[in-house]
Amino acid sequence: MSCTDKKARLAERQEQWQGMVDKALSRFPERKENFSTTSGIEMKRLFGPADVDAVDYNEDVGFPGEFPFTRGVQPTMYRARFWTMRQYAGFGSAKQTNERYRYLLGQGQTGLSVAFDLPTQIGYDSDMELADGEVGKVGVAIDSLADMEILFDQIALDKVSTSMTINAPAAVLLAMYIAVAEKQGVSSDKLRGTIQNDVLKEYFARGTYIFPPQPSMKIITDIFSYCKDNLPNWNTISISGYHIREAGSSAVQEVAFTLADGLAYVDAAVKTGLDVDDFAKRLSFFFNVHNNFLEEVAKFRAARRLWARLMKERFGAKKASSMMMRFHTQTAGCSLTAQQPDNNVVRVTMQALAAVLGGTNSLHTNSRDEALCLPTEDSVRIALRTQQIIAHESGVADTIDPLAGSYMVESMTSEIEEKALEYINKIDDLGGVVKAIEAGFMQQEIGDSAYAYQKSVETADQVIVGVNKFTIEEAPPENLLRIKQEMEIEQRKSLAAVKAGRDANAVDDSLKALREVAESGDNLLPAIVSAVKTYATLGEVCGILREVFGEYIES
Partner 1 sequence: MDKKIKVLIAKPGLDGHDRGAKVVSRALRDAGMEVIYTGIRQTPEQIVATAVQEDVDSIGMSCLSGAHNKLFPKVVNLLKEKGAGDVLVFGGGIIPDEDIPGLKESGITEIFLPGASTEDTIEFIRNNVKQGV
C-alpha–C-alpha distance, residues 236 and 364, integer Å: 19
- φ, ψ at 209 (rounded to 5°): -80, 160
C-alpha–C-alpha distance, residues 305 and 56, integer Å: 13
Q: How far is the CB of 555 from partner 1 (least distance, A)?
A: 9
Q: Which of 48, 65, 207, 526 binds partner 1 (CB under 8 A)?
A: 207
Full strand arrangement of the beta sheet holding 327-331: 234-235, 192-195, 161-165, 111-115, 84-89, 362-364, 327-331, 283-289, 237-240
Helix (H, G, I), strand (E, B) or coil at 206: helix
Strand partners for 140 = 92, 116
Stretch that binds partner 1, among 211-219, 254-262, 345-353, 478-486 (CB under 8 A): 478-486
Shorter beta-carbon distance to partner 1: residue 30 or 458: 458
C-alpha–C-alpha distance, residues 403 and 420, integer Å: 21
Q: How far is the CB of 256 from partner 1 (least distance, A)?
A: 18
DSSP-assigned letter for residue 282: G
C-alpha–C-alpha distance, residues 277 and 261, integer Å: 18
**Any contact of residue 212 with partner 1 (CB under 8 A)?**
no
**Any contact of residue 338 with partner 1 (CB under 8 A)?**
yes
Shorter beta-carbon distance to partner 1: residue 363 or 374: 374
**Any contact of residue 254 with partner 1 (CB under 8 A)?**
no
Q: How far is the CB of 359 from partner 1 (least distance, A)?
A: 28
**Any contact of residue 439 with partner 1 (CB under 8 A)?**
no
**Any contact of residue 143 with partner 1 (CB under 8 A)?**
no
Stretch that binds partner 1, among 7-15, 228-236, 316-324, 480-488 (CB under 8 A): 480-488
CA angle at residue 39 from 36 to 44, to 5 degrees?
30
One-character DSSP codes across 344-375: HHHHHHHHHHHHHHTT-SEEE---TTTTTSBP
The CA-atom distances, in angstroms, between 214 and each of 108, 282, 364, 409 are: 41, 22, 32, 40
**Any contact of residue 334 with partner 1 (CB under 8 A)?**
yes
Sign of CA dihedral 60, 66, 67, 68: positive
Q: How far is the CB of 336 from partner 1 (least distance, A)?
A: 8
Stretch that binds partner 1, among 264-272, 320-328, 335-343, 536-544 (CB under 8 A): 335-343
C-alpha–C-alpha distance, residues 104 and 111, integer Å: 9
C-alpha–C-alpha distance, residues 533 and 176, integer Å: 7
Stretch that binds partner 1, among 241-249, 323-331, 352-360, 504-512 (CB under 8 A): 241-249
Q: How many residues bind partner 1 (CB under 8 A)?
A: 42
**Any contact of residue 248 with partner 1 (CB under 8 A)?**
yes
Shorter beta-carbon distance to partner 1: residue 39 or 70: 39
**Any contact of residue 346 with partner 1 (CB under 8 A)?**
no
Q: Which of 132, 377, 418, 422 binds partner 1 (CB under 8 A)?
A: 132
Neighbouring residues of 83: CB distance < 8 A, sequence distance ≥ 6: 356, 360, 361, 362, 363, 387, 391
x-marked contacts with partner 1 along 441-470 as a string, rule CB under 8 A:
------x--xx--x--xx-----x--x---
C-alpha–C-alpha distance, residues 119 and 140, integer Å: 10
**Any contact of residue 314 with partner 1 (CB under 8 A)?**
no
**Any contact of residue 339 with partner 1 (CB under 8 A)?**
yes
Strand partners for 331 = 289
**Any contact of residue 137 with partner 1 (CB under 8 A)?**
yes
Q: How far is the CB of 135 from partner 1 (least distance, A)?
A: 9
Q: How far is the CB of 487 from partner 1 (least distance, A)?
A: 11
Shorter beta-carbon distance to partner 1: residue 134 or 296: 134
**Any contact of residue 122 with partner 1 (CB under 8 A)?**
yes
User: Quick one: residue 531, left, alpha or beta (phi over 0 = left, psi -120 to 50 = alpha)?
Assistant: alpha
Long-range own/partner contacts, residues 21-29 (CB < 8 A, 24 or more apart): 21/45
Q: Which of 237, 409, 437, 483 binds partner 1 (CB under 8 A)?
A: 483
Q: How far is the CB of 1 from partner 1 (least distance, A)?
A: 55
Residues near partner 1 (CB under 8 A) are: 118-119, 121-122, 124, 130-134, 137-138, 202, 206-208, 246-248, 334, 337-339, 371-374, 447, 450-451, 454, 457-458, 464, 467, 476-477, 480, 482-483, 485, 554
